Amino acid sequence: MKILGIHDGHNASVALLENSVITFALQEERPTNEKNFFGFPKKALEHLLKYKNLTPRNIDYVALSSHYISAPMTGKEVKQHFGWQGTPLAVVAKKISKLPLIQKIREKKSLKRRFLILEHLGFPAEKIKVLDHHLCHAAAAYHGLRESSDKKYLVLTLDGGGDWLCGTVNIAQNGKIKTITRIPYGHSLGDLYARTTYLMGFTPWEHEYKLMGMAPYSNLKHARKVAAVYKNYLDLDPQNPLSFKKKIFEDTNHILPRLERDLKRIRFDNITGGLQVFTEDLLIKWVRACIRKTGVSDLLLSGGVFMNIKANKVVSEMPEVKSIAAFPSCGDESNALGATWLLYHQITEGSGNPLPHYYLGPAFSNEEVLKALEEEVKENYFTFEKVSEINKVVAKLLADRKIVARASGPMEFGARALGNRSIFADPKNQKIVPIINSLIKSRDFWMPFAPIVLKEKSQKYLINPKNISSPYMMMGFDTTEAHEELVAAIHPADKSARPQILEKNQNPDVEEILNEFEKLTGRAILLNTSFNLHGYPIVFSPKEALWTFKNSGLEYLVMEEYLIKKNAK
């Protein structure tokens, strides 16, 4: 059985499940080179079919991950939409749109548009199944991360909104997911974070992580004063503490004018710190209420709010929490995967296979690399050679304090670079931070980098008493006294880290690089950041890798067995 999963909204994506296993997943932003693409993932679908040698006739079912998706928007239109939501007209329109009849009309219009696209591409209507947005989030977390079918999990979802909800509380066991609480949209923690992102001049639905990264720089005393402001907006529902309830007239997605009034003349760092404190405090209260009500203390998390690794960290440290995992890159892009698992279970009553790794995208061969190199070498800005034992060569360059970009093997899915489309460096060398920031990534100076470390060596660097797995950079940790060995890959304000804790045999090539680096330096840990320029997606093909190499300060690039070195100017 082949099930095609599609998320055709913000950060559009596709996924393929074959006989209970997800074998391919790709975001539309990669082949289009348009970060966080909003719309139907046509190019990603074309790549999936071509890469897997399939046609629409070979697909048994198409799983759409939401009943309602708004019409496609560009990044500029998203900002305009946020600005419009703060107007009095928008508040009235939202009140009307919440009427059940209006919601059904909007769903019908949305589905008609999307069905027409799929039917035009060769997928008949009878193959298309439409699934609930938040149930897809829950399915991704449960079917993708569960350790065993008989184990009972508390599955929590939170985001800005989807299919008229912004969160759910679920119990999952034996392949089945039972939703016990649905949080209506307009009472959304994700909305507050996104609207504050817009208020501070950043791009909403994209740059929320920048506010999280700035938060530790704030003074905690001042941050708590700002957190008190946010507490006037949203809290647990007194009638049902498993849900959230707004404390103001406006829905949370129409709160911008109030934010502008209440946060006027407050310093930017204290706003970010206050928002983060409020987020963490509210999540702790909510999780505690959920565990108390259900008696289940093994947590699985999904939805865009749980991209906040600092909040995940404080939840993981709660004494009530026995175990915790957040689905990797758990924004709406992951719903393409959740939809395939959910539909597979509905059809077969099976659970599908849990996620073995996240290297679900296309790979390219040595021949494809060589072709791209020969086409580009005429510009005379690099030389290249095919190298045996390339991983040892990379480790030696890193030990010599060089910065190396790597584009090899199957591409990782989602927002985090996991070694195959990454930039590596020695994390003990703090001098590389401004180099990567200014010459390579063109990124904001306050944002920290992240480490990658072998699981069996991670206890040396990370405080992790519950032995929480974090192979996908979804959890934050405090660091040990050995933090000077990874000083360039931790947050300078609080010494915390967002590590990729690499599991055994999950990525043998990167594992070899780490082992070889340890032989040379005594340290089994590297700085790992995504291979892209600021504002662009992670590189997709050899062509994009070479373009990024050319337009950055990178000196070394590895693609499969080829080592590329930039010529001196």
Neighbours of 431 (CB within 10 A): 9
Does position 94 have pLDDT exceeding 80, yes or no? no
Q: For residue range 23-53, what is the model confidence (pLDDT) as tens digits?
A: 999 999 999 999 999 999 999 999 999 999 9
In this predicted model, which residue has the larger pLDDT, 157 or 149?
A: 157
Considering only 98-102, 493-497, 498-502, 530-534, which range has the smallest mean pLDDT? Answer: 98-102
Q: Over 90: is that where the pLDDT of 568 sits? A: no
Sheet holding 404-407, edge to edge: 382-386, 562-566, 556-559, 404-407, 421-425, 525-530, 450-454, 500-502
Looking at the predicted structure, is the pLDDT value of residue 569 above 90?
no
- Does residue 387 have a pLDDT over 80? yes
| Percent of the chain with pLDDT strictly greater than 90 | 88
Using CA atoms, how far apart are residues 566 and 569, in angstroms rounded to an integer?
Answer: 9
Q: What is the pLDDT of residues 246-286, one digit of tens each?
A: 999 889 999 999 999 999 999 999 999 999 999 999 999 99
pLDDT score at 100:
85
Over pLDDT 70: what percentage of the chain?
A: 100
Mind listing the pLDDT tens digit for each residue in 438-471?
878 777 888 899 999 999 999 999 999 999 999 9
Residue 352 has pLDDT above 80, yes or no: no
Predicted pLDDT at 490: 96
| Integer angstrom CA distances of residue 449 from 393, 487, 506, 511, 541 | 23, 10, 22, 19, 24
CB 373 within 8 A of CB 546: yes
Site of tokens 């003074």: 219
Q: DSSP state, 265?
A: T
pLDDT at 353: 86
pLDDT at 361 over 90: yes
Secondary structure (H, E, C), 43-106 = HHHHHHHHHCCCCHHHCCEEEECCCCCCCCCCHHHHHHHHHHHCCHHHHHHHHHHCCHHHHHHH
Res. 288: pLDDT tops 90: yes
Instruction: Flag whether pLDDT at 84 surpasses 90.
Output: no
Computed over every residue of the chain, the mean pLDDT equals: 95
The dihedral formed by the CA atoms of 489, 494, 497 and 498, expressed in degrees to the nearest 10: -110
pLDDT for 129 beyond 90: yes
Residues 6+ apart with CB under 8 A from 47: 26, 31, 362
Structure tokens of 569? 């100017």
Is residue 564 a contact partner of residue 557, using CB atoms and an 8 Å limit? yes
Predicted local confidence at residue 360, as pLDDT:
97
Report the half-sphere exposure of 443 (CA within 13 A, side-chain side): 22
Q: How confident is the model at residue 403 (pLDDT cuts 50, 70, 90)?
A: very high
Decide if pLDDT at 71 tops 90.
no
Average pLDDT over residues 516-526: 97
Q: Taking 80 as the threshold, does the pLDDT of residue 98 lie above it?
A: no
3-state DSSP percent of the chain in helix, strand and coil, to 5: 45, 20, 35
Tell if the pTM clears 0.85, that is, is over it.
yes
Tokens of 250: 């406006």
pLDDT for residue 383: 96
Is the model's pLDDT at 76 over the cut of 90? Answer: no
Q: Rounded to whole angstroms, how far apart are CA atoms 379 and 215?
A: 44
Q: Which residues pair with 181 in a beta bridge?
A: 169
* DSSP label at residue 355: P
**Dihedral-angle region of residue 11 (phi above 0 means left; psi in -120 to 50 means alpha; beta otherwise):** left
- Angle (CA) 456 458 463, round 5°: 135
Section 290-300 average pLDDT? 98
pLDDT band at 210 (very low <50, low <70, confident <90, very high): very high
- String of b and e for 284-318 (b: at least 16 CB within 10 Å)? bebbbbbbeebebbbbbbbbbbbbbbbbbbbbbbb
Helix (H) / strand (E) containing 172: strand 165-173
Mean pLDDT, residues 523-530: 96
Best CA proximity match to 303, nearest among 498, 168, 145: 168
The DSSP H or E segment spanning 559 is: strand 556-559
d(CA 356, CA 255): 41
| First CA to last CA distance, the chain | 55
Task: Read off the tokens for 347.
Answer: 């059809």
Asked if residue 96 has pLDDT above 80, the reply is no
The per-residue pLDDT for 486 is: 96
Name residues whose C-beta falls within 8 Å of residue 289's C-beta, 6 or more positions apart in sequence.
236, 241, 242
pLDDT of residue 554: 95
Going from the N-terminus, what domains does the chain have, and what CATH number goes with each? 135-334 (3.30.420.40), 366-566 (3.90.870.20)
pLDDT of residue 90: 73
pLDDT at 164: 95
Burial 69-82 (b: 16+ CB within 10 A, else e): beeebebeebbebb
Contact 208, 194 (CB under 8 A): yes
d(CA 62, CA 169): 26
SS3 165: strand
- Can you give the three-state secondary structure of 512-538, one letter per residue? HHHHHHHHHHCCCEEEEEECCCCCCCC
